[in-house]
Amino acid sequence: MTTYQYGTHTASGYALRSSAVHLDDYVNQNITVFGYKIDGYPVDGGPDYIEVEEIK
């Protein structure tokens, strides 16, 4: 459970979302995430919010 309510996944202390990548395909894998920080976050003591554009 978290105190913030954004992101569909978390990794290394970041909240993640993506419209380009199906993040469920990468659960429990070591990956490199490419994307950008979403303006207006963090909120409610939560982590930075990242829009994932690519995974390698």
pLDDT tens readout for residues 5-46: 899 999 999 999 999 999 999 999 999 999 999 999 998 889
- The answer as to whether 35 is a domain residue is yes
Domain count, the chain: 1
Residue range of the domain that includes 36: 9-55
* CA 19 from centroid of its chain's CA atoms: 11
- The answer as to whether 47 is a domain residue is yes
- The answer as to whether 27 is a domain residue is yes
Q: With a threshold of 0.85, does the pTM exceed it? A: yes
CA–CA dist 37, 15 (Å, integer): 10
Structure tokens at 32: 């490199």
Cα dihedral 6, 24, 52, 14 sign: positive
- The answer as to whether 4 is a domain residue is no
- The answer as to whether 2 is a domain residue is no
- The answer as to whether 1 is a domain residue is no
CB 42 within 8 A of CB 48: yes
- The answer as to whether 32 is a domain residue is yes
Radius of gyration of the chain (CA): 11
